[in-house]
Structure 1
Amino acid sequence: MNNFYSKFYKELFLTNLLFASLTFVVILFVLSFFFPWLGDIPLVVFLAIILLIVTDIVLLYRIESGIFARRNTAERLSNGDDNKIIIHLENFYPFPIKIGVIDEIPFQFQKRDIWFKSRLAPRQQKIIEYTLKPLKRGEYDFGDIHIYTRSPLGLISRRFTFEESKTLKVYPSFLQMRKFELLAISNRLLEAGIKKIRRLGHSMEFERVKNYVSGDDYRTINWKASARRGDLMVNSFTDEKSQNVYCIIDKSRSMKMPFEGLSLLDYSINATLALSNIAMLKDDKAGIITVSEKIGAVLPADRKPAQLNKILDVLYKEKTRYLELNMEALYLTVRHTIKQRSLVVFFTNFESMSSLERQLPYLKKIARFHLLLIVFFENTELKKLSEEPASDVEGIYIKTIADKFAYEKKQIVLELARHGIQSILTSPQNLTINTINRYLEIKVRQTI
């Protein structure tokens, strides 16, 4: 019995309508002192409210499980993307109800206003959908779902609590990866901004002999096959396969810089995942190396079906460290791990020429054995400052400094090119598209 009353009081909540009704009764009692003709009206109204409260309690409590709720989510969340969360509701009461829904979302989102209002007819089912956008990888703990239910009288509210506690892992942006994967499979990469690059030469991978059609390169005509068939035949070539594509991710303090909620490290991780997937779709092998003051994860290049899950598991655990990048350790690891000439995509960040000069000797050594592509970032905030007109001396000073840093980034690109090292200077939001574009261009030009 004690448990029943304890549960009853924990579930019972008074509504604003009840407080307004009681306030009205109090006013009537006060007025009855000045207007005797009111007589017993205040008492009658008060008793009527009491009767309605009892009726409301009976309506809401006579059914033990008057409502049902369940949260549906994916098995894992995608970092930096809108992830759909679905709450299923069902009303078992024989009358319409009004509900308020509180979903206890993980503390990382710092939201305290997840409150949904809805109405449910008798025996009706309804779905509430909303999205969450995580900005950090890791484990996110969801709590319970609380449903506050009111009958048509609306004087009290009964709370139903559904234990839906669940821990979900936030992985690198696999939603972005799937988008590029679907576009690549359906040859619609142009829709995502991936450029179509004209083939400038022929690979060594012979595919087949086919009939000549208008637009085929005359240099590919197979004269012997044409003589046998009595019609023009051309040799068809395909991109070279089974080439190694290694993504090296700098996770030192230079990659901690935030942009729209995500760090540069997270943007690099998302781009690495998408690029690795595209590379394996192109029948290349994808591998990963992470580095800061010491070597982190090393995943040898492969194209087996399980490789993508291995890449996801590696990237999920990586965090920014706060020390300088150890380029000597990186060079030794590259020489030890990557035995054949490969495309090495190095995601890092240079803010000045001096930071490049410290790393340049090792970059030149890596470029002797592999095709090295350096990917680093524009400082978009400084770019905005340099584009704004200056209105005073302080504004001129800030604009000058911003222009100086922007110019130095361009000088870094030229300095790398002078030593035969390819580079991409990109804004964080365009990182994935620009990196995939350059990879496809390298494949077409057969420079690996």
Structure 2
Amino acid sequence: MKKLFGLIYKNLFLTGRLFTGLGVCALLFLLEFFFPWLGVIPELFFWVLIILLAIDLLMLLKTSKGVFARRITPERLSNSDENELSIYIENRYAFNINVSIIDEIPVQFQKRDVWFETALKPNERKQINYMLRPTRRGEYEFGWIRVFVKSALGLIERRYNFEQTEILAVYPSFLQMRKYELMAISNRLTDIGIKKIRRIGHSLEFEQVKNYVAGDDYRTINWKATARQGNLMVNSFVDEKAQHVYCIIDKSRAMKMPFEGMSLLDYAINASLVLSNVALLKEDKAGLITVAEKIGAVVPSDSKYTQLNKILEVLYKEKTDFLETNLEALYVTARRVIKQRSLIVFFTNYESLSALQRQLPFLKRIAKFHLLLVVFFENTELRALSEQPASNVEGIYIKTIAEKFAYDKKLMVKELASHGIQSILTTPQNLTINTVNRYLEIKAKQKL
């Protein structure tokens, strides 16, 4: 009895339809004072409402397990991507019901409107899909699933609580990585903005001698093989393989700047994961180094199939520090770990020319031994300010300062180029495409 009372007290709720009926009933009793001819109509209406309420209550309480619901989630979530989740709902009542579902999603999303409504026939099953886009890596805790059930009468609502607390890890954008992977395998990278790079000459790595087909370059004809076979034969070349590609990620305070809900560090991590995957698909060796005031993770370059998982697990745990980057420690580590000439892609950010000049001596030393590519970010907010027309003196001042900072970014590119260091100045949303573009260009032009 006590358990039943607790159930009624905690999990039964009055609906708007019942309050409407009670309001009509009160109005009829009020009108009876002025219109005696209404007679027993108010009392009859009241008792009919009470009987319907009792029937509705019995219908909802006659079984303890009238509905079943559970959340269907992937093993892990992909940062900055739309991840699909589902709620499976099953009606075990013998009549039609209307259900409202609340899914208690993690607090990181700051959303309280994950509410779904649907109707179910007897023994019907449904799956409701919805999307979540995390913007931070880490652990996300999901809570309970609350299901509110109404019968066709709709006078009262019963709540079912399904405890399904679970913790999902949000990893760097592996969905984006897979998209680029499929494009690279099918040679369709141009569909997502990757440029086709015209090759100058041939790669140095010879593959085979094959029969000539229409369209082959006549300059590759192997005349000795042609004389032996009696048919035109051509030499086939492939891209050089097993070259070393290192992504170095700056974790200092400069990378904590937010853009569309994500920090610059997260954009750099997503781009590093994609670039490492593309490099492995090109049969190069991918490695990773993270740095702030101290050296963080170091993953030596390798081309094994487990290498990408190692990089993914390392990137999942990285966080932004609040001190300045120690380029001296990075140079020492690069000299110790990276033994062969390699492509080093350094993801960082400079907001002033003086910040670049402080680090330039160490960048020049690294560039003596490796092909260094510095990737830093364009401040889109400042660009938007510089493009806005000024309407007063304060607006002119703000516009001038914004244009100065934007111009400093262009000076940084020229400063790096004057010392033989390649660079990419890009917006955060175009970071991955521009980085992969430059990697493919370096491969095509045999600069490494």
- TM (normalized to structure 1)? 0.98
Q: CA deviation at 1:214?
A: 4.1
Indicate the residue corresponding to 1:24 in structure 2.
24
Instruction: Output the CA distance in 2 between the equivalents of 1:427 and 1:173.
Output: 18
Give 2:37's aligned amino acid: W
Where does residue 134 of structure 1 map in the other structure?
Answer: 134
Quote the offset at 1:119 in angstroms. Answer: 1.0
Aligned to 1:415: 415
Q: Hey, what does 1:88 align to over in structure 2? A: 88
Matches within 5 A, 1:328-339: 328-339=328-339
Deviation at 1:388, TM superposition (A): 1.8
- 1:362 corresponds to which residue? 362
2:51 paired with 1:51: yes
* Distance in 1 of aligned mates of 2:189 and 2:386: 33
| Distance apart, 1:89 and its partner CA | 1.1
In structure 2, give the amino acid aligned to 1:427: T
User: 1:257, CA displacement in angstroms?
Assistant: 0.7
SS in 1 for 2:157: strand
Instruction: Write the distance in 2 (CA, Å) between the matches of 1:124 and 1:214.
Output: 61
Q: Alignment partner of 1:130: what SS?
A: strand
CA-CA distance at 1:64 after TM superposition: 1.9
SS at 1:147's partner residue? strand
**Aligned partner letter, 1:13:** F
The 4+ residue runs of structure 1 with deviation greater than 4 A are none
Q: Identify the residue that residue 184 of structure 2 maps to in structure 1.
A: 184
RMSD (Å), alpha carbons = 1.1
Distance in 2 (CA, whole Å) between partners of 1:139 and 1:201 is 50
Separation (CA, whole Å) in 2 of partners of 1:416 and 1:216: 39
TM-superposed deviation, 1:153: 0.3
Aligned to 2:244: 244
| Corresponding position of 1:173 | 173
SS, match of residue 164 in structure 2: coil
In the alignment, what sits opposite 1:303? 303
What is the DSSP-based 3-state SS (H/G/I as helix, E as strand, rest coil) of the residue aligned with 1:87? Answer: strand
Match of 2:122?
A: 122
Amino acid of the structure 1 residue aligned with 2:344: V
- 1:102-113 to structure 2, matched below 5 A, reads 102-113=102-113
1:61-82, Cα deviation, whole Å (9 max, x unpaired): 1122111111111100000011
> Are 1:340 and 2:346 counterparts?
no
* Residues 1:145 and 2:154 aligned together: no
Distance 1:146 1:441 in 2: 53
Counterpart code for 2:340: Q
- The alpha-carbon deviation at position 218 of structure 1 amounts to 3.5
2:249 counterpart SS class? strand
CA distance in 1 between counterparts of 2:4 and 2:47 reads: 26
- Displacement after TM superposition at 1:201 (Å): 2.2
- Which residue of structure 2 aligns with residue 204 of structure 1? 204
Structure 2 Cα separation of the partners of residues 225 and 303 of structure 1: 34
Q: Secondary structure at the match of 1:170?
A: strand
Deviations 1:357-382 (A, max 9, x none): 00000000000111100000000111
Whole-angstrom distance in 2 between the partners of 1:354 and 1:214:
56
- 1:155 and 2:155 aligned: yes
Q: Which amino acid counterpart does residue 180 of structure 2 have in structure 1?
A: F
Mapped partners of 2:233, 2:316: distance in 1 = 50
| Corresponding residue for residue 389 of structure 1 | 389
Deviation of residue 352 (structure 1)? Answer: 1.3
Please give the alpha-carbon distance, in whole angstroms, between the structure 2 residues aligned to 1:420 and 1:227: 46
Cα distance per residue 1:192-229 (max 9 Å; x no partner): 10111121122221101122334433432211111112
Identical counterparts, % of pairs: 67
What one-letter code is carried by the residue in structure 1 that aligns with 2:232? L
User: What is the alpha-carbon distance in structure 2 between the residues aligned to residue 109 and residue 43 of structure 1?
Assistant: 51
Secondary structure of 2:344's aligned partner: strand
Q: Which moved more, 1:166-175 or 1:109-118?
A: 109-118
Relative to structure 2, which stretch is displaced further, 275-284 or 383-392? 383-392
Residue 65 of structure 1 corresponds to 65
* Alpha-carbon distance in structure 2 between the residues aligned to 1:22 and 1:214: 86
Amino acid at match of 2:301: A
Return the alpha-carbon distance in structure 1 between the equivalents of residues 46 and 398 of structure 2. Answer: 70
Match in the other structure for 1:401: 401
1:250 & 1:182 partners in 2: Cα distance?
28
Deviations 1:37-88 (A, max 9, x none): 2222211111111111110011111122111111111100000011111111
CA positional deviation for 1:285: 0.9
Q: Which amino acid aligns with 2:409?
A: K
**SS at structure 2 position matched to 1:90:** strand
C-alpha distance in 2 between matches for 1:156 and 1:336: 72
* Residue of structure 2 equivalent to 1:213: 213
What CA distance in whole angstroms lies between the structure 2 residues aligned with 1:323 and 1:131?
36
Counterpart in 1 of 2:316?
Answer: 316
Kindly provide the amino acid, as one letter, of the partner of residue 192 in structure 1. Answer: I
Q: Which residue of 2 aligns with 1:372?
A: 372
Structure 2: give runs of 5+ residues left out of the alignment: none
Q: CA deviation at 1:185?
A: 0.8
Corresponding residue SS for 2:199: coil
Q: 1:34: how far off?
A: 2.3
TM-score w.r.t. length of structure 2: 0.98
The worse-fitting range, judged by mean Cα deviation, of 338-347 and 401-410 is 401-410
- Distance across 2 between alignment mates of 1:3 and 1:47: 28
